[in-house]
Structure 1
């Protein structure tokens, strides 16, 4: 496994852990240890994401807003594959 894939795997793990703790804290807001772990995972995720983006570029392609509005609407297509 190359370094890029290792970083992606670690990002996925950190994001999952942070999200699970986020949901847990919705029902257990008084759990200070869980809140501290959430902050740690979130900080590490943001740090690793910055490092990944500096080395390999963005993880997701940026969206360009309303370009989909320029295409045909479903009722404007007269035959399959006609655009």
Structure 2
């Protein structure tokens, strides 16, 4: 999977979670929506983990700081060749 495809997968699940969360704000007892949210959340976390294992952290908050501030050491998006 390319970097763009992996990022698109993360974005897809993130959007679905945001949209379902808004629906649940007005329909908190909807079992189908709750199940969908839970299933999608698991897929989102898996997609983030897959992305970060291949390409590094998605945000500075996800960066490992044990060995210093390495967030800026990775190539910037415009520096990456697909």
- TM-score, shorter chain, exceeding 0.5: yes
Larger Rg: 1
Q: TM-score, normalised by structure 2?
A: 0.69
Structure 2 regions of 5+ residues with no counterpart? 64-82
Residue in structure 2 matched with residue 26 of structure 1 by the alignment: 25
Shift in Å, 1:35: 0.6
Write the distance in 2 (CA, Å) between the matches of 1:55 and 1:7: 9
Structure 1 regions of 5+ residues with no counterpart? 64-83
Residue in structure 1 matched with residue 55 of structure 2 by the alignment: 56
1:40-51 equivalences under 5 Å are 40-51=39-50
> CA RMSD of the aligned region, Å?
1.6
Q: TM-score, normalised by structure 1?
A: 0.68
- Give deviations 1:1-40, integer Å, cap 9, x for gaps: x611001011101000011101110110111001100111
